[in-house]
Amino acid sequence: MRNREKALSVLEALGERGRATGHGWVLNTESLLPHQQSVNALESPGLVELAGREVRAEPSALEGRPVWWAARVTPYGHDTLTYAHARPQPRRHPVGPGQTGGW
């Protein structure tokens, strides 16, 4: 459960920063670097797309320095976020005397 929550948090941060850029790509020049390893891990299941050299060439020219890393949320990643937010949260049931659990 914790990994799921972390993945959703990273997807949300990447999505927010991507929307703010206007082109969807988050570059290594932005403040997402502490999450870069987590973002890289989300590429394998198809939630995130990492830019290749050709894609990074244009932002490198615009930035005036090399862009070594760029990522954006894929359509599948956006669907995952939408589902996670729309999904009903489990309800906790009160625990009475002598009972265990809470779900």
pLDDT tens digits, 29-68? 766 566 788 899 999 999 999 999 999 998 888 888 898 9
Q: What is the pTM of this model?
A: 0.75
* Residue 96 belongs to a domain: no
Could you tell me the residue range of the domain that residue 33 belongs to? 2-85
CA distance 74 to 77: 5
- pLDDT the model gives residue 98: 60
Copy the structure tokens of residue 98. 């002598």
In-domain check, residue 99: no
Instruction: Please report whether residue 101 resides in a domain.
Output: no
In angstroms, the CA 11 to CA 80 distance is: 9
- Establish if 10 belongs to a structural domain: yes
The overall average pLDDT reported for the chain is: 83
Residue 42 lies in a domain: yes
Q: Are 10 and 42 in contact (CB under 8 A)?
A: yes
- Whether 98 is in a domain gets the answer no
DSSP 16-68: HHHHHHSSS-EETTSTTGGGHHHHHHTTTTTSEEE--HHHHHHHHHHHTS---
Is the pLDDT score of 96 beyond 90? no
Structural domain count of the chain:
1
- What is residue 1's predicted lDDT score, i.e. its pLDDT? 41
Does 29 reside within a domain?
yes
The residue-averaged pLDDT of 26-30 equals 80
Q: How many residues does the chain have?
A: 103
